[in-house]
Amino acid sequence: MKLKLTNGHIITPFRYIRNGTLLVEDGVILGIHDGNVDFPDAEVIDAGGNYIAPGFIDLHIHGGGGHDFMDGTVDAFLKIAETHAQYGTTAMVPTTLTSEKEDLLQTLDNYEQANATNVKGAQFLGMHLEGPYFALSQRGAQDPRYIRNPDPNEYEEVLAYSSSITRWSAAPELPGAIDFGKRLKQKGILAAVAHTDAIYEEVLEAYENGYTLATHLYSAMSGVTRKNAFRYAGTIESAFLLDMDVEIIADGVHLPAPLLKLIYKIKGPDRIALITDAMRAAGMPGGESTLGSLKNGLKVIVEDGVAKLPDRTSFAGSVSTTDRLVRNMVQMADVSLLDSVRMMTATPARIMGVDHKKGTLVAGKDADIVIFDSDINIQKTIVRGRIIYDKQF
């Protein structure tokens, strides 16, 4: 239960420690040191001059490795966690799609079982319910059959059913959405604006009542609109104006380089979380796939590093992995490695309220660690002191 990671460039919250050593005992970081230090009876990991960084935290993910969290099986949860661990993810927030209430409750049950048995993959940080309370006009690839306004009878039943819900995304302009946000805040659940046509005044009211995160900024949300010849700031501009956190799909397709640069320039690394928003085709070859459950999901085609509708008129999901997000911020958006890693670690940890134990390499925190080379190719993934992925094997 003792690890010694040495001969690596350690990424701390504020600087690099060149050729440093990181010590782990019983799944917790014991200390970080310049140079080499003795640590008797420890398993030694030679980082080979590569980077030693905090494990990547994905706030918004639907699937990978041919599985989706809505598949209705515990095995899907476990296989997705194992798949994304290969790409540096050490913690994730499994995310649903709009569905029948019975399917949603079954997914929550599956989460509970998977969370109790997950030892080979990225850790789970609770469930993210994406929908069904969305603007139909901004549904994206969400199934319109299940989209509806917030219903207190329904969401109170769901909240009472499971204590594993840690975030919930909704359109704040819908009737009942403000009361819904207040209720989530009371329960300590992160409320996020998503799939919305809200204007600034509506987003501001939502922000004042618990909605503190913008789900996949720019995707499925309003920009500047005109009503009766007057211009109104949309959700995108509102997220920039308010002290609101934002998450972005930095796959280089959903958001091209100029938009990545713009978001970084305005919001900065402490307000941006990188997310994969990955569907089942992440980590798989291109070709035909399914968005959502195998039972009633949407057929899509994967090409050009993204999932598309079969007629290629729209994107239908991301196939990104967390290493790709960090790589794109460095290589496409000209962001420093330090800030790129922060947006994949410390910032999502703070947004999810787990920064007291995850997100940075600091003594006393969980030993969630990734080792990667200068091109952000993952060499090793460590979760709470356990090596769960090693490129050499």
pLDDT in tens, 249-262: 999 999 999 999 99
Report strand pairing: 245-249 vs 211-214.
parallel
**112 pLDDT higher than 90:** yes
Give the pLDDT of residue 393.
80
Q: 127 has which bridge partners?
A: 165
For residue 91, give Cα distances in angstroms to 43, 60, 87, 150, 359.
23, 11, 12, 29, 10
**Is 207 in contact with 242 (CB distance < 8 Å)?**
yes
Give the pLDDT of residue 186.
98
Report which secondary-structure segment, H or E, holds 7: strand 2-11
Percent of the chain with pLDDT over 70: 100
Q: Which CATH superfamily is domain 2-52+373-390 in?
A: Urease, subunit C, domain 1 (2.30.40.10)
The two structure tokens encoding residue 73: 């099986």
Q: Which pLDDT tens digit goes with each residue over 271-283?
A: 999 999 999 999 9
Q: Which of 39-53, 231-245, 284-298 has the lowest mean pLDDT?
A: 284-298
> What does the DSSP assignment read for 354-382?
-TTTSSS--TTSB--EEEE-TT--EEEEE
Q: Do domains 2-52+373-390 and 56-355 have the same CATH topology?
A: no
Q: What is the pTM of this model?
A: 0.97
Q: 165 has which bridge partners?
A: 127
357-361 long-range contacts, Cβ below 8 Å, gap at least 24?
Answer: 358/54, 358/55, 358/57, 358/90, 358/91, 359/54, 359/57, 360/12, 360/13, 360/54, 361/10, 361/11, 361/12, 361/13, 361/22, 361/29, 361/32, 361/52, 361/53, 361/54
**Given the structure tokens 């009542």, which residue do they identify?**
209
**231 pLDDT higher than 90:** yes
Give the pLDDT of residue 295.
83
Give the pLDDT of residue 1.
87
The two structure tokens encoding residue 31: 């200390």
Answer CATH for 56-355 from 3.20.80.10, 3.20.20.140, 3.40.920.10, 3.20.20.70 = 3.20.20.140
What whole-number distance in Å separates Cα of residue 69 and Cα of residue 361? 30
What whole-number distance in Å separates Cα of residue 364 and Cα of residue 2? 14
What whole-number distance in Å separates Cα of residue 213 and Cα of residue 244? 6
- C-alpha angle 314-317-320 in degrees, rounded to nearest 5: 130
**Is 62 in contact with 317 (CB distance < 8 Å)?**
yes
- What's the rounded mean pLDDT across residues 187-213? 98
Centroid of chain to Cα 241: 23
140 — pLDDT class (breaks 50, 70, 90)? confident
All structural domains of the chain with their residue ranges: 2-52+373-390, 56-355
150-155 long-range contacts, Cβ below 8 Å, gap at least 24?
Answer: 150/174, 150/175, 150/176, 150/177, 150/179, 150/180, 151/176, 152/176, 152/179, 152/180, 152/183, 154/101, 155/180, 155/183
Burial of 112 (0-12, 13-18, 19+ CB in 10 A): middle
